[in-house]
Chain A
């Protein structure tokens, strides 16, 4: 299975574990960067390539689960693989609810660990792909004029040109022109395509 470039980030306060995990990942061709504390992790640059975080639950100061929540608040959706010496069920379910890919108990086996890491990386790739799509749509959407955006809003809710013209106090012809411009700028093939795009944009603006 051919992988595109990816980076695994590790946060564990134990240097031995950190180094062992880094080496294990490197041995299968996965570059990894290790951090002793969450602060160090936050100070580091976010990788531009698909990445995931291998996070120890027990950390001095803020623990792994709290850090997961903090990252979400910050809008950082990096997929997380938790590792812990003694995880209990409430801890596991909390981590999974928070979006964790996997919750592994130390010492973990190579296969389950790598599977989790790959799953996390795949998720990040998908997220990045999605994010890239959204970015394209957002940049296209940004090119619309104010009128074109208003017309598009009403179009995707299923109103016909006549109704839109009445709502906006415009002529039906003008609405038709704006609608054509919007479809063109958004590079939408069909009305259905435009509706889907509008949904994506909508979900982003709500987040």
Chain B
């Protein structure tokens, strides 16, 4: 079809040029036809024809004169008029002059002489004046006739030009329409439009091909059938709210293809408004993001696995600290159990004390269970979740594991947590991994200073009312400006036994929470590692 149209355009443009060239030709015509040009040949021809007409008039008159009793000059008027008509004013005057001489010589007495009788003089002058008038009228008439033809020719030329222009612009229009249509069909996106009430009234071929449907199968609610069942409601709600508010539609959903398989699409639609601001139509595109989604998913899974691995490694380093945390409540449980038996023994059992001991057993057993639960969650390989979290709780749950390790390394572990923090949205385990990592690094950094203070401060605060800032400060060896650049890179480590993944993973976790993780030297020695997480909307 496009081939045909393409030929059509060429044809149209050719015709356009044809018209134009013909127009140019016809515009030259009046000059050659009207005055025969100004060349010598034309001049001779024009004056010659005047002489020829007069000669015919003379011969004819000499023959006809015999039939009439009175002088017969009318044919000379015809010759003069014809000469003025075909030759112009000059040949007209020549015809008048030659006719006057011919009439004087042959037809006015005395005959065969140029002399004129006084009695015939008036009559002869009347002939001359009439002949001049005839020549004048004829050449005038001819002139106006030519002007008229000129005007008509000009008009014709203009019409031809306009027609050509119109044809050309038509051709251009159809070409641009065709290239637009080509664009809508060729670009790797699905394009559609909808009426202001939301019913689909156009889909590009790509969309129809993907859905395996004809246009009439996409109208109205039938369009919804192509969406996956779980996404239908969500799409419907988004679309209805976009339609009623006149705001762009944006979202991701799975759409069923002709082969029955679902793929993720990203849809964006914007309204077109008229001058009054009334929505005339909606235009939308669907972009296939399935591969992107899959890649993203694979990346996330790989990241999660790496994070899990390093988390497990870090937790491994904390085994004795963790064992201590579990052992403490167990010690209390055993001691309370013995105490309870002790209170129950004897002649007068002390029931209130026994009861309190049992209550403590329950409390301590629960505590041990909680600790184990937290350990399990830190060791578990789970897809990232998004929950509303209290940052302080996240930190406190974690410091439990580090308490014993801190005592062991004589690190004074302090927290300064703002009690009025807004909640955030994030993955508890992942955030704990970040804090754990930063705290372990801080303790490692202070391993060297045996005499100086070993203080580890974890603080939380709200910044600008829109994000939570978590800081981990140490009094360790500090950071060189060179190290600050590199510490977040994978496989960069300053620790002999480190693998250099902790901070790089921490940073990607924080970034996946739309936050920032960075380090700076602590003014009085040591380093500050801090990260932000936006507060929950």
Contact = CB atoms under 8 A, between A and B. Distances in A.
- Counting chain B residues whose Cβ lies within 8 A of the other chain, the interface size class is 20 to 34
B324 A86 contact: yes
Given A27-B342, A27-B343, A85-B323, A20 B336 contact: yes
Interface of A: 14, 16-17, 19-21, 23-24, 26-28, 58-61, 63, 83, 85-86, 106-110, 113
Interface in B320-335: 320, 323-324, 327-335
Given A16-B363, A63-B407, A24 B336 contact: yes
Which 3 pairs across A and B sit closest by C-beta, in order of nearness? A27-B342, A20-B335, A110-B338
Given A16-B329, A106-B327, A86 B320 contact: yes
5 contacts: A16-B360, A24-B335, A26-B353, A27-B339, A108-B334
Contacts of A86: 320, 323-324, 327
B214 interface: no
A173 B408 CA distance: 68
Contacts of A108: 331, 334-335
A28 B339 CA distance: 8
Given A17-B328, A85-B324, A26 B339 contact: yes
Contacts of A58: 324, 404, 407-408
B21 to A, nearest CB: 104
B357 interface: yes
Given A19-B360, A58-B408, A60-B407, A85 B331 contact: yes
B412 interface: yes
B320, B343, B350 — most chain A CB neighbours (10 Å) = B343
Interface in B293-345: 320, 323-324, 327-336, 338-343, 345
B467 interface: no
A69 to B, nearest CB: 16
B343 A19 contact: no
A21 B331 CA distance: 9
B357 A14 contact: no
B330, B338, B364, B406 — most chain A CB neighbours (10 Å) = B338
A84 B407 CA distance: 13
A55 to B, nearest CB: 14
B324, B334, B339 — most chain A CB neighbours (10 Å) = B339
A64 to B, nearest CB: 11
B407 A16 contact: no
Contact of B335 (A21, A59, A85): A21
Interface string B401-435: 00010111000100000000000000000000000
Interface of B: 320, 323-324, 327-336, 338-343, 345, 350, 353, 356-357, 360, 363-364, 367, 404, 406-408, 412
Contact of A14 (B328, B333, B341): B328
A83 to B, nearest CB: 8
B357 to A, nearest CB: 5
A110 B336 CA distance: 10
B331 A106 contact: yes
B326 to A, nearest CB: 9
Given A59-B407, A85-B323, A20 B328 contact: no
B327, B328, B333 — most chain A CB neighbours (10 Å) = B328
Contacts of B331: 17, 20, 83, 85, 106-108
B335 to A, nearest CB: 4
Contacts of A27: 338-343, 345, 350, 353, 357
B439 to A, nearest CB: 16
A58 B323 CA distance: 13
B360 A20 contact: yes
Contact of B328 (A23, A24, A60, A85): A85
A26 B339 CA distance: 8
Contacts of B329: 16
Contacts of B345: 27
A14 B353 contact: no
A79 to B, nearest CB: 20
A17 B332 contact: yes
A113 B334 CA distance: 12
A106 B336 contact: no
A23 B356 contact: yes
A85 B329 CA distance: 11
B362 to A, nearest CB: 12
A14 B357 CA distance: 16
A108 B338 CA distance: 10
A95 B453 CA distance: 26
A17 B331 CA distance: 6
A85 B339 contact: no
Contacts of B353: 23, 26-27
Nearest to A25: B339
Given A58-B404, A63-B407, A106 B330 contact: yes
Nearest to B361: A20
Nearest to A106: B331
Given A20-B334, A20-B360, 11 more contacts: A16-B360, A16-B363, A19-B360, A27-B357, A58-B408, A60-B406, A60-B412, A85-B331, A106-B330, A110-B335, A110-B341
Contacts of B360: 16, 19-20, 23
A59 B331 CA distance: 16
Nearest to A58: B407
Given A14-B328, A85-B327, A106-B327, A24 B363 contact: no
B330, B335, B343 — most chain A CB neighbours (10 Å) = B335
A16 B367 contact: yes
A151 B27 CA distance: 162
Contacts of B333: 20, 107
A21 B408 CA distance: 23
Contact of B336 (A14, A23, A59, A113): A23
